[in-house]
Amino acid sequence: MRPPRFCLLALSACLRVGYDEQPRNPADGGYANQPDTGASTDAEAPFDAAASGDASAKGPTDAAPRIDAGAAIDAAAGFDAGSALDAAQPDPVDAATPMPDAAAVTGCRTVTRDYCLALPSLAEAPVLDGALDCGPALIELVPVGWHSPEAYLGDHPARYASAWRPDGLYFYIEVDDALRLPALASDKDPWCGDGIELYADADGVYVSAPDYDDPGAIQLLATAPARDPSTVLAVDARYHTRSNKRGSDWPASGHITVARANGYALEAFVTAADLALSSWSLAAGAHVGIDIAINVSVGIESERVECGYNLGQYYLRVSSTPCTSDACRPYSNASAFCTPVLE
């Protein structure tokens, strides 16, 4: 069993039990309703396609606005009719002539989805370089089930995108975090400071729920990059439900974390090996399970607690109500995972 976290404010010690919740929606008890194991959609409405991705995405945005033909220089406005500049001026762009779309030139089209409902396909094999690949657009990760002795103040907001390939799941997450206090090697567990947790299930059906299917489901933990590159951090890891033992290290070949101007980003591609499967073949119309947690550190570097710098974490989804504290969280309950359909 993975050790539960709890917080004793007097001791400034933070673990995974007994924290206050910040309800997302009082009407449903603060948790996003989850579909049944065979369901294909989430109860929440999809994001508006107008909520486009981050400008740092690898895919270009639409071309610049067309030139208005009416903006051409009037020959009477300061130019002599006999001037060499007259008549030699090029014809203005005809507003009726469409300009080529930059996306069409490169073949990159962005897709905005509520990724708990559906995942778009990724056109090319992902390049894990810490930048969002062409295709899925970033959307806001709305915190639910905030797990902390303090109210979530919104100073660690995140955005994410996800997609699929025939051989795995693609994730990209950005977190705003100016301080960045990841778990140190002496803390052992990568969740003891700033970082990101990914959750994945091969088919979105949880035979052993709330426990993870084993093989077939996994929790993947990555520390945020340290401000000092020489800092030795806790090793990124794979965990199973509530296990106090790591399944193994999370190989660096499958993910990368990079520093950003005001935070950090994780880019990852989850494959059969990560789920302890011998093979994994994905196709349109199938379902998978996904979830995300953002681990948040204390606000002062000198404030070390029992679990390193850990303050708490928030999630993309937790399990449906009724649910009590630790038992509803994705590291304890596979039923918390979204079950999107593959488009």
Three-state DSSP string of 177-244: CCCCCCCEHHHCCCCCCCEEEEEEECCCCCCCCCCCCCCCEEEEEEECCCCCCCCCECCCEEECCCCC
pLDDT of residue 187: 92
pLDDT of residue 326: 84
**∠ at Cα 69 (97, 99), nearest 5°?**
30
Specify the pTM. 0.71
The answer to whether residues 182 and 233 touch, using CB atoms and an 8 Å cutoff, is yes
The answer to whether residues 173 and 141 touch, using CB atoms and an 8 Å cutoff, is yes
Domains and CATH numbers, the chain: 1-63+112-343 (2.60.40.1190), 66-99 (no CATH)
pLDDT of residue 107: 65
pLDDT of residue 335: 92
Per-residue pLDDT 10s for the chain (343 aa) are: 344 443 333 333 333 433 334 444 433 333 343 434 343 333 333 333 333 334 344 543 344 433 343 444 343 334 343 433 344 444 443 444 444 443 443 568 899 999 999 999 999 999 999 999 999 999 999 999 888 877 777 889 999 999 999 999 999 999 999 999 999 999 989 999 999 999 999 999 998 888 999 999 999 999 999 999 999 999 999 998 866 667 899 999 999 999 999 999 999 999 999 999 999 999 999 999 999 999 999 989 999 988 999 999 999 999 986 677 788 999 999 999 999 999 9
Any idea what DSSP says for residue 147?
Answer: E
- For the chain, give the mean pLDDT: 76
Find the DSSP H helices in the chain.
Answer: 102-106
| pLDDT per residue as tens digits for the range 123-159 | 999 999 999 999 999 999 999 988 887 777 788 999 9
Structure tokens at 51: 């909520």
Q: What are phi and psi of 145, to 5 degrees?
A: 60, 40
Any idea what DSSP says for residue 275?
Answer: G
pLDDT of residue 161: 98
